[in-house]
Amino acid sequence: MHHATIANSRFPVKELKSWFLATRREFPWREEPTAYHVWISEVMLQQTRAQVVIPYFLKWMERFPNIELLARAPLEEVIKTWEGLGYYSRARNLHEGAKTLVEEFGGKLPSTREELKKIKGVGPYTMGAILSFAFRQKAAAVDGNVLRVLSRFFAIEDSIDLPATRRRIEELAEGILPEKEPWIMMEALIELGALVCQKKPECSSCPLNESCLAFRHHIQEALPRRSKGAKTIHLRRWVGIVEYEGKILVSKGERGKVMADLYEFPYLEEEGGDPTALFSQKLELSLSLQKKLDEEIHTFTRYRATLIPFLFRAEESNSRFCWIEKKKLSKLPFSSGHRRVLQQL
């Protein structure tokens, strides 16, 4: 492979390995990198920093120490254990994946790409991580960290959002991996991106700086290049907390929506008018406003929502909705924005 040959001949493998072994961070999933531990931790790490993931990973392993227990658990319990990590489709995919593993693979993660492709939510990166860190194979696991490191090292100026650029970087990564202990080099590349070759790179402390093309040409700050990202959409939402005889009205996010399987309070897009009248109309309930609560900011996918909560008292119940005792609400999974509103009650 052409790229692999270039990568092997020019890449300072020894220097990176020495750096990594001297600075490697300790994480619970690194202590015992079983395939299950690698799978769960890598999915958690996809959108979340490692330090933040630690308590979630430990809580998850305490509740679901193996694939069988995860597969048997009700989805709501899986979502509740995941609560706070966001991007909840990851938790739903883990649950579905665990069921597939129990039904088709005897409750164990397989060690080939072909079989791993059958597991819901296991994309190229997670697949590479499982094969590399758990099964010790020579497999590239290219995440955002590796894209940053290699696009700078080889001065790749094409957008890393393009599939062709990703494929090229995957080939380069595979070419860098030595035959002996390739998983150490793979983990070292990820660690370098996380600690040194960050968005704002610290080139002076990088073990690759003497050979890095971007550093040599002073373009490290300009790389990696990305296609123009989607703009953040700002929302302002009224949130209605409706109380009737010690119970609070909640509903469940619809399947297929961003907040599927999470509980939420009724809400309206802020468009002016009287909140009491508009919520009374929406919920078909007679409401009286008790007080306005503090605003909360909730960021999810490409949205940034300002939540403006109101506490109402209902004069009657309505069987269309779910009414939950106030003290039981904390046991249900809520989105982080609605969870913060709940904490004000």
Residue 237 and residue 308 in contact, taking contact as beta carbons nearer than 8 Å: yes
Q: Is 42 annotated as catalytic?
A: yes
25 backbone dihedrals φ, ψ, rounded to 5°: -80, 150
Which one of 42, 174, 264, 296 is the catalytic residue?
42
Here the tokens at position 150 are 């290699």
CA 135 to chain centre: 23
Beta bridge partners of 290: none
- Catalytic residues, by residue number, are 42
